[in-house]
Amino acid sequence: MDLGLTGKQVFITGGSVGIGLAVAKAFAREGAAVAIGARNKERVETEAANIAREFGVKTLGITMDVNKPEDIEQGRLIIEKEFGGIDILINNAGSGTEEKVMDTPDEKWYAIWDLHVMSAIRTTRAFVPYMKKRGGGVILNTASICATQPLWYEPIYNTTKAALVMLDKCLANELVGDNIRVNTISPGLVLTPDWWKTAGILAEKEGITAQEYLDNLAHDLAPIDRFASPEEVAETFVFMASEKSSYTTGSNFFVDGGWLNTI
């Protein structure tokens, strides 16, 4: 299926590992030029070079911390110089949390709010003008099933991802007249390096292997009885950014293996 993404220019935050990296590769496979942003300079530049070599498309690896407005502006300037702008923005940077509401300081709330919500607002402000000049574009935000069905141990993550879903709806209504579609994708269990790290810590406490911990978790939470691969989730991103999804905006799509216990 031709998704009509050849020649499109895409910017992905949190693009050097996990879901973000899989999304970058999926767009490159479709013939899009890809810019990825991440904090680790060596990793983001290496992965950008690997994508260019594997798929034969133009890539950029941009060292940036999306919690810093000045880094977003610097990224915008680099992309303007090398790409002239973008057609598709993927706000993917994020991190899980672990805390209790009653004893977590304000500083942690502010930091994760900046990471999940304000970074998406700032990148949108930075790149929507290019989309308007090109006659339209697409913004996709990575939320989580936890925005709708929260996990008890990460209230900040749950709350900020829920806010990101609401931001999606507001932006979609605001930008629809400019032919800019905005949607959110909410994954469930996705086997990223972060999950392997977490599983290693928690499995040791239970006296089992990391693989056993992950298998048990999938069995308990996902009717499909397994984690998704980042590559499986990435396919939803390329479809939602494509011409095949031209009538979809302001929606939140779950990629969760049946975990969500509501309709």
247 belongs to the catalytic site: no
Q: What are 96's two structure tokens?
A: 């899980």
Alpha carbons 195 and 7: distance in angstroms, whole number: 34
Output the CA torsion sign for 15, 18, 24, 27.
negative
Beta bridge partners of 225: none
Q: CA 129, 133, 136, 142: dihedral to nearest 10 degrees?
A: -30
Angle, helices 41-55/18-29, rounded to nearest 10 degrees: 30
What is the pairing mode between strands 180-187 and 137-142? parallel
Q: Measured on CA atoms in the order 153, 155, 161, 166, is the torsion positive or negative?
A: positive
- Pick the catalytic residue: 110, 130, 153, 157? 157
Helices (H) and strands (E) in the chain, counts: 9, 7
For tokens 């303007």, the residue is 80
Residues 188, 254: Cα–Cα separation, whole Å: 7
Catalytic residues: 157
